[in-house]
Amino acid sequence: MLDTHTHTLFSFDGKMSAREMVLCAQERGAEYYCITDHFDFDYTFMPEYQSVRQIDVEGYLREILALKQEFPFLRIGCELGFSKKAEPLYQKLPFEVFDYVLNSCHTVGDYDAYNKKYFIGKSKREAYKQYLDNIRASVDADYPFNTISHIGYVRKNAPYEDTALYYEEFSEEIDGILTRIIERDKALEMNAKLPAEQFMPEKDILQRYYQLGGRKLTFGSDSHSKETIGNKFDLAEKIAAEAGFTAWTVFDKQQPRFVPFKR
């Protein structure tokens, strides 16, 4: 098992200490385990989110780097919440310490797309298109990053009858994103934090990425507590294999490395 995307109490929405998470990952036999706590500098520009606790960057680096000495399978990462306004703030981060940098779109306009208010007055087409346009902008971000995470996050609290993000419905926008990921030699994440057998993105988008030449695919449970570390890893590998992939990509000091599928 490997897991490239997890959170601890350093994130405002984390539930467990880094040590508890790492010990659990060890118990589950993780060969690669990355902590990627939230850096939500995008929130600092948004009236509704000013009170959200921001990460204690120094404390985070100190604690995770110390744990890394103790647990050789541990990596230190970060999840940056993209917005154009926050770009200059992210540029000041000490990127040389990170093994792995996730670039994530949570916020679109005035709201986090997880917030039901984001959808008020928007059709599915409008809400999802604005979200996808923001992801497209994030692929051009002018700071170091390795992976575009959880494409489909917008569906989590969407009020539509069918919330799935289908390739067919948004093929132009999705092709724009995937093509640019490949051009910039970045990776795409397969994120397990959806109910049942669903992933972000789903198989149709993975297949398209593969078809366009994308080979760098990462797996992340996006766990905020230990119960879900490595969640649905075997299923993810099965679906990714069906889409054509033969290996996961992991990053050490931001250098990609392929880990062949077990099947």
Using the rule CB under 5 A, give the single segment among 77-85, 114-122, 156-164, 208-216 that binds Zn ion.
Answer: 77-85
Is-contact 104 82, C-beta < 8 A? yes
User: What is the closest distance, in whole angstroms, from the C-beta atom of residue 14 to Zn ion in the complex?
Assistant: 10
Which is closer to Zn ion, CB of 49 or CB of 207? Answer: 49
| Rounded Cα distance, 20 and 142, in Å | 34
The residue within the footprint of Zn ion, chosen from 104, 134, 218, 249 (CB under 5 A), is 104
Nearer to Zn ion among residue 104 and residue 207 (C-beta): 104
Alpha-carbon span 233 to 241, nearest angstrom: 12
Q: Pick the piece of the chain touching Zn ion (CB under 5 A) from 26-34, 86-94, 127-135, 215-223.
A: 215-223
Residue closer to Zn ion by CB (options 147, 249) is 147
Give the residue, chosen from 37, 63, 112, 222, that forms a contact with Zn ion under the rule CB under 5 A.
222
CA 123 to chain CA centroid, nearest Å: 25
**In the complex, minimum distance from the CB of residue 191 to Zn ion, in angstroms, rounded to a whole number:** 8
The residue among 3 and 222 lying less far from Zn ion, judged by its C-beta, is 222
Instruction: State the nearest-atom distance from the C-beta of 263 to Zn ion, in Å.
Output: 26
Nearest Cα neighbor of 176 from 204, 216, 135, 126 is 135
DSSP 8-class letter at 58: H
CA torsion angle 18 22 28 29 (round to 10) = 160
Size of interface with Zn ion, in residues (CB under 5 A): 3
Q: Whole-number minimum distance, CB 124 to Zn ion, in Å? A: 21
- The least distance separating Zn ion from the CB of residue 150, rounded to whole angstroms, comes to 6
Nearest CA among 36, 102, 24, 34 for reference residue 73: 34
Q: Exposure of 177 by Cβ count < 10 A (0-12 exposed, 13-18 middle, 19+ buried)? A: buried
Decide if residue 138 touches Zn ion (CB under 5 A): no
Beta bridge partners of 6: 223
Instruction: Provide the binding-site residues for Zn ion, judged by CB under 5 A.
Output: 79, 104, 222
